Amino acid sequence: MANFGADIRRFARVTGQTMDRTIRAVQLQAIELVIEKTPVDTGQARGGWHTSIGEPSTRVGGVKDKGGTATIARGRHDASITGSIFYVVNNLPYISVLEFGGYGTGLGATQKTTRDGYSVQAPEGMVRISVIEIKAAIRRTIRDAQR
């Protein structure tokens, strides 16, 4: 995490942005990537993402949001508030299975799951892959600016 913080500071410096603006951009990117990567069946999982400031939301569920636009809009509003820790959480009971797998395997697999028990739509998860993509984009920008 300390390295990520250092990368954020370097990113702000090489792009000439303020820290507040840089952090908000990362928050917005996180919201959009995670929600867009969340598998869609009924839209419940996408609509179940909640953002909050200061402490994680304990809210479970939300509106069914197959496209994710309403959920992203809610998150954008919270990302505009500065000065505290920003959380993106989903408290649906099955969200960890979507992220880490654990559905039926082998013969128990369905057309929505892989033989290893992962969602076909998000076999590498949503949060983990989004964090990797954000870190890579920040480091790429820093590297390109230093050339």
Q: What is the pLDDT of residues 9-28, one digit of tens each?
A: 999 998 898 888 888 889 99
pTM of the prediction? 0.86
Q: Write out pLDDT tens, residues 41-64.
A: 899 999 999 999 889 999 998 789
Q: Are 99 and 131 in contact (CB under 8 A)?
A: no
Q: What are the pLDDT digits (tens) for 97-135? A: 899 988 766 655 567 777 677 888 888 999 999 999 999
The rounded distance, in Å, linking the Cα atoms of 5 and 46 is 28
CA–CA distance, 125 with 134 (Å, rounded to integer): 15
**Model pLDDT for residues 80-106, shown as the tens digit of each residue:** 777 678 899 999 998 998 999 887 666
> Buried b vs exposed e over 22-52: b needs ≥16 C-beta within 10 Å?
bbbbbbebbbbbbbebbebeebbbbbbbbbb
- Give the alpha-carbon dihedral of 56, 11, 74, 98, to 10 degrees: -60
Burial of 76 (0-12, 13-18, 19+ CB in 10 A): middle
Q: Where are the domains of the chain?
A: 2-92+126-145
Cβ neighbours for 61, distance < 8 A, ≥ 6 positions apart: 44, 47, 48, 91, 92
Check residue 133 and give its pLDDT. Answer: 95
